[in-house]
Amino acid sequence: MKSSSRILILLSSALLLAGCASTGRIASRPAPTPPPPPPQPPAPESGVEVAPYRPPQVANARPQPSRAVQALLERAEDQQRAGDLVAAANTLERALRIDPNDARVWNRLAHVRLAQGRYRQAAGLAAKSNALARGDAALKADNERIIARARQ
Amino acid sequence: MVTRKKKRSSRAGSRRSARGRARRGHGWGWLKWGLSLTLLLGLLLGGYTLYLSHQVRVKFEGKRWAVPARVFARPLELYEGARVAPEQLQAELQRLGYREVKHPRQPAQWSRSGGRFLFHTRPFLFWDGSEPGRLVEVRAGRQGVTRLRDAGEGKPLDLLRLEPPVIGSIYPAHKEDRVLVKRSDLPDHLVQALLAVEDRQFFQHHGLNLRSIARALLADIRAGRAVQGGSTLTQQLVKNFFLTPERSLWRKANEALMALIVEARYSKDEILEAYANEVYLGQDGERAIHGFGLASWFYFNRPLQELKLHETALLVALLKGASYYNPRSHPERALKRRNLVLDLMARQGFITPEQARHAQRQPLGVAKQKRLGASRNPAFIDLVRRQLRRDYREEDLTSEGLRIFTTFDPWVQARLEQAISEGLARLEKGRKLKRGTLQAAAVLVSPQEGEVRALAGGRKAGFAGFNRALDAVRPIGSLIKPAVYLLALSQPERYTLVTPLEDRPIRLKDAKGRVWQPKNYDHKAHGRVLLHQALAHSYNLATVRLGLDLGLDRVVELLRRMGLKRPVRPLPSLLLGAVSLSPLEVAQLYQVFASGGFRTPLRAIREITDAEGRPLQRYPLEVEPVAGPGPVYLLDRNLVEVMRQGTGKGIRRYLPEKLEVAGKTGTTNELRDSWFAGFTGDWLGVVWVGRDDNRPAGFTGASGALQLWGRVMKKLNPLPLALVPPDDVVYVWVDPDTGYRSAEHCKNAVAMPFIRGSEPRQQAECHESSGIGGFLDSLFR
């Protein structure tokens, strides 16, 4: 048990330190410093509790204003269903101003542009969503579908 | 435009025929003569009346006023998690002219205790519908909004959009500015004050008040000159509307005739409304303040309906002479006149003596700053105008009452202006330069959405002069380099961050045989350097060699895709920034780096509606992928290195070590121009420092522009750059000196990002299978 908790401490400090890693030279260290975390979460080893992987920068990034964005996403959904695409785009742009790193919002805006027949924009927005989607495979697949449809 | 109902009336006609009646004469001949003369005169007068009547109708029913376009700032969005500190929220409420009270009950009132705000919003008509007025509770701390509730309904609120503050107007060449009000917008006590002071019989007379004319005439005769006016409101309106300020009998007669026509054609309410919109009530630099609607904003920073008795009394007091009684420059005169107005109101029974006394005890209450003029934010308004001019005719902008919703953030603008004036003063002091020697320009943009949020056209923000942010077109020096390196990194099979480059002297000859021999800033050649080091330290020789290898045409092509519009010649000197751009154009280029390779055309306007709030035009957010997310990620890591170990490391005077930012310095020949362009998680900023006469200012990008950029960012409390490695990027341990593959346990090994498949193959002396430290490796790999 003792050793596993030590691993945990090591792991979390590794994650913390990784946040400070940059491409440049890191001042010479007495002990080896762990590398930045790989993009995929480490496979949990049996008997060892492994903290879930979080990209280190996210901890101190923009706070998640989820409720506000969620409310706007729903409103845009309603507007799109009612056929008011201009209003839906408006609402989604408002959501993007609140959280420009939310891949879902870029994806929704891509859908609206697609529905408006603005294919070039749809593809651009879907690509943008992809770039922010991190591990969300379903979202990425949807973005790829938008890009494919836009190119037809 | 408000459409006027035509009131067909026979009164004017009957008056005409009355004048046509002949007098009895002394004989047939005389009678005939007299009759025909009278008939002729009557005809002439009748014709003239018809002509005037037509004029009146044109003026009244046509487009009576050129209503300038109103320019709005961005609306402040509140939600739990919004990064709005208490002082910012308070500043916004004050900017909107909300009143601080103990218990907010009515629209535009607020109270605060600590981080808890309670306020009642005004309803506002946005381009996408109206936002109702409501009572809201907000709790905010240093990290921003923590709680948002509809206090009226006692429910949590997801989102609240405050009304946007007005930041200026686009008025026509004759400089008349106004905000239209309807008759129903005129508060009762305003109308009462008008009647009490200007025209007691307004609702009784037919345009002229014979008794008061007689009284005025008598006073004039007694004094031997014109001392008293007997004009009704209608006459005053006519005078303002149609006539020149000359004083003559002919004009008086004309005025009287037209007043009668106006009264015959239009209702008292219509006349009152026209009067309220027409009158001149003040001056703001070159801008003339017309009508009570604008005057209310101009003097009290709030709409007319929210004014209290003593405030409306002041506006009415100004009718006698807006500059003589100007409450800002002559507060005592204004106060005396205002109290006289209140006395008159009480004397005529409109208010009680107690009400009058209470109002008279109030201070003038005039807002300190003139907030409405275009003069407050000339640089940004200038940008808005230029964007508009592509889509609208000048006369539409100045007359149609358009509502223009922009991306401008007044809070951020204030921080920017402060940073520039403090920063320049500091730079001048440090170099013992005369105060005012240096100039600066800056642009602040939201990187993902490409919205221009603040703009400084020079060191004096309120001064509408040369707009350097748009028009100071200067060589950009090393700011161009990231484009060259991005082009290289976009070819991972040829270039990675650790590709060795030659930083050796180079001699080039152009077609005419002229020699170009670039040098490094430190006049040294650094020999073999790694690609990322060459950018971090801004080595010229290595960059020129790299750019020539890549091909100048390809560099130009990339710049074009990134949004460069100016013609550039593909000469080797381009690689060191021999291309002149404005700070705004630089911001467009760096926006691509700051948003992961997606170009979004910068915008200053979001939406335009007509005067009634109907949407006319949107300027939508557009994105276009112009560089691969992988290469841009590598470049951005490299630009982070610039700020940690390279030419930008001076930033740490302003920002904490752990806050990640990216950027690049730029310096031109003989230190004429000092540039810095950089970005955080939420801001992209470009700063230029130099001199207007283009003489050397004596600052590098790091010692000049970077200092200002740091100051601004410190004030903005930015989010750290949170770069997400794209799927095609992997991190690999390398030896920092050789760029060879190393391992984490090796001395000095650094983790470097690579496009998958381009990781270095060559192994450093210390590598994976050498040494011991496989333990953590096995955990991570």
pLDDT tens-digit series, residues B230-268: 688 888 888 877 766 666 677 778 888 888 888 888 899
Distance from CA of B687 to the nearest CA of A (A): 23
Q: Do A65 and B725 touch (CB under 8 A)?
A: no
The domain defined by B171-361 folds into Penicillin binding protein transpeptidase fold (1.10.3810)
**Segment 563-602 of chain B within 8 Å of chain A by CB:** 595-598
**Residue A90 contacts B, CB cutoff 8 Å:** yes
Q: What are the tens digits of pLDDT across the range B721-731?
A: 989 899 999 99
Residue-level pLDDT at B230:
66
Q: Do A65 and B81 touch (CB under 8 A)?
A: yes
| Residues of chain B positioned with their CB less than 8 A from the CB of A41 | none
| Residues of chain B positioned with their CB less than 8 A from the CB of A26 | 748, 750
Residue-level pLDDT at B27:
66
Distance from CA of A28 to the nearest CA of B (A): 6
Residue of A nearest to B717 (CA): A62
Residue-level pLDDT at B245:
63
Please list, in sequence order, all residues whose beta carbon lies within 8 angstroms of the beta carbon of residue A138, skipping any fewer than 6 positions away. Answer: none
**Segment 475-504 of chain B within 8 Å of chain A by CB:** 497
ipTM metric: 0.83
- Residue for token digits 């009530």? B281
> Tokens representing B79?
């939600």
Length of chain A: 152
- Residue in B596, B623, B644 closest to A124 by CB: B623
Q: Which is the catalytic residue, given B163, B176, B198, B278? A: B198
- Residue in B80, B606, B618 closest to A65 by CB: B80
Q: How big is the A-B interface in CB pairs under 8 Å?
A: 168
Q: Do B158 and A70 touch (CB under 8 A)?
A: yes
- Residue in B598, B623, B637 closest to A23 by CB: B637
Choose the mutation target among B74, B78, B79 for the interface with A, i.e. most A CBs under 10 Å. B79
Distance from CA of A52 to the nearest CA of B (A): 13
Bridge-based pairing state of the strands B160-161 and B527-530: unpaired
| Residues of chain A positioned with their CB less than 8 A from the CB of B598 | 124, 127-128, 131
| Residues of chain A positioned with their CB less than 8 A from the CB of B752 | 23
Length of chain B: 781
Contact B253, B235 (CB under 8 A): no
d(CA B456, CA B508): 39
Distance from CA of A1 to the nearest CA of B (A): 18
- Residue in A20, A28, A90 closest to B658 by CB: A20
> Tokens representing B151?
């206090």
Residue-level pLDDT at B247:
65
| Residues of chain A positioned with their CB less than 8 A from the CB of B772 | none
Contact A129, A139 (CB under 8 A): yes
The domain defined by B75-163 folds into Penicillin-binding protein 1b fold (3.30.2060)
- Residue in A22, A64, A124 closest to B644 by CB: A22
The DSSP output letter for B603 is B
Positions of chain B with pLDDT lower than 70, given as ranges: 1-27, 62-64, 220, 223-230, 243-248, 369-375, 462, 464, 770-781
Q: Do A36 and B727 touch (CB under 8 A)?
A: no
The DSSP output letter for B71 is E
Residue-level pLDDT at B210:
76
Q: Do B625 and A124 touch (CB under 8 A)?
A: yes
The total of other beta-carbon atoms located within 10 Å of residue B139's CB is 15
Q: B610-636 b/e with 16+ CB inside 10 Å = b?
A: eeeeebbebbebbbbbbbbbbbbbbbb
Residue of B nearest to A41 (CA): B780
Distance from CA of A143 to the nearest CA of B (A): 14
CA-closest candidate to residue B180, choices B57, B275, B308: B275
Beta bridge partners of A143: none
CATH numbers and ranges of domains, chain A:
2-60 (no CATH), 66-151 (1.25.40.10)
| Residues of chain A positioned with their CB less than 8 A from the CB of B595 | 128
CA-closest candidate to residue B525, choices B538, B541, B537: B541
Residue-level pLDDT at B367:
84
Q: B517-530 b/e with 16+ CB inside 10 Å = b?
A: ebebeeeebbeebb
Residue A71 has pLDDT above 60, yes or no: yes
Please list, in sequence order, all residues whose beta carbon lies within 8 angstroms of the beta carbon of residue B19, skipping any fewer than 6 positions away. Answer: B42, B45
**Residue B652 contacts A, CB cutoff 8 Å:** no
**Residue type at B643?**
M
- Residue in A36, A63, A66 closest to B731 by CB: A36
Please list, in sequence order, all residues whose beta carbon lies within 8 angstroms of the beta carbon of residue A31, skipping any fewer than 6 positions away. Answer: none
Please list, in sequence order, all residues whose beta carbon lies within 8 angstroms of the beta carbon of residue B664, skipping any fewer than 6 positions away. Answer: B478, B479, B481, B482, B538, B639, B642, B647, B648, B676, B677, B678, B701
- Residue for token digits 């959501």? A95
- Residue in A57, A63, A121 closest to B720 by CB: A57
d(CA B260, CA B265): 9
| Residues of chain A positioned with their CB less than 8 A from the CB of B451 | 97
Q: Do A20 and B598 touch (CB under 8 A)?
A: no
Q: What are the tens digits of pLDDT across the range B324-346?
A: 999 999 999 999 999 999 999 99
d(CA B119, CA B104): 6
Beta bridge partners of B139: B116, B147
For B309, the enclosing helix (H) or strand (E) is: helix B309-317
B478 is catalytic: yes
Choose the mutation target among B78, B128, B446, B453 for the interface with A, i.e. most A CBs under 10 Å. B128
Confidence of residue A38 (pLDDT cuts 50, 70, 90): very low
Q: Do A26 and B645 touch (CB under 8 A)?
A: no
| Residues A138-144, mean pLDDT to the nearest whole number | 96
**Segment 42-101 of chain B within 8 Å of chain A by CB:** 77, 79-83
- 3-state SS string over B606-658? EEEECCCCCEEEECCCCCEECCCHHHHHHHHHHHHHHHHCCCCHHHHHCCCCC
CA B560, B562, B564, B568 torsion: positive or negative?
negative
Instruction: Count CA atoms within 13 Å of residue B251 on its CB side.
Output: 12
| Residues of chain A positioned with their CB less than 8 A from the CB of B730 | 38
Contact B324, B394 (CB under 8 A): no
| Residues of chain A positioned with their CB less than 8 A from the CB of B749 | 32
Distance from CA of A55 to the nearest CA of B (A): 8
Residue-level pLDDT at A54:
37
Contact B438, B427 (CB under 8 A): yes
Residue of A nearest to B745 (CA): A32
Distance from CA of A2 to the nearest CA of B (A): 17
CA-closest candidate to residue B480, choices B556, B424, B380: B556
Q: Do A68 and B724 touch (CB under 8 A)?
A: no
**Segment 2-31 of chain A within 8 Å of chain B by CB:** 7, 10-11, 14, 19-26, 28
**Segment 722-751 of chain B within 8 Å of chain A by CB:** 722-727, 729-731, 733, 736, 744-751
SS3 B250: helix
**Residue A120 contacts B, CB cutoff 8 Å:** yes
Distance of CA B3 to the CA centre of its chain: 32
Confidence of residue A64 (pLDDT cuts 50, 70, 90): low
- Residue in A28, A68, A86 closest to B748 by CB: A28
> Tokens representing B241?
């509307």
B198 is catalytic: yes
Q: Which is the catalytic residue, given B169, B212, B478, B703? A: B478
Following DSSP, what letter does each residue of B218-236 receive, concatenated?
A: HHHHHHTS-------HHHH
Q: What are the tens digits of pLDDT across the range B165-219?
A: 999 888 777 788 888 888 999 999 999 999 998 888 888 888 787 777 777 777 7
| Residues A16-28, mean pLDDT to the nearest whole number | 39
Rg, Å, chain A Cα set: 20
d(CA B339, CA B326): 14
Residue-level pLDDT at B212:
74
Alpha carbon separation from A13 to A56, B278, B279 (Å, rounded): 11, 71, 71
Q: Do B776 and A33 touch (CB under 8 A)?
A: no
Residue-level pLDDT at B765:
87
Q: What is the largest CA-CA distance in chain B?
A: 139
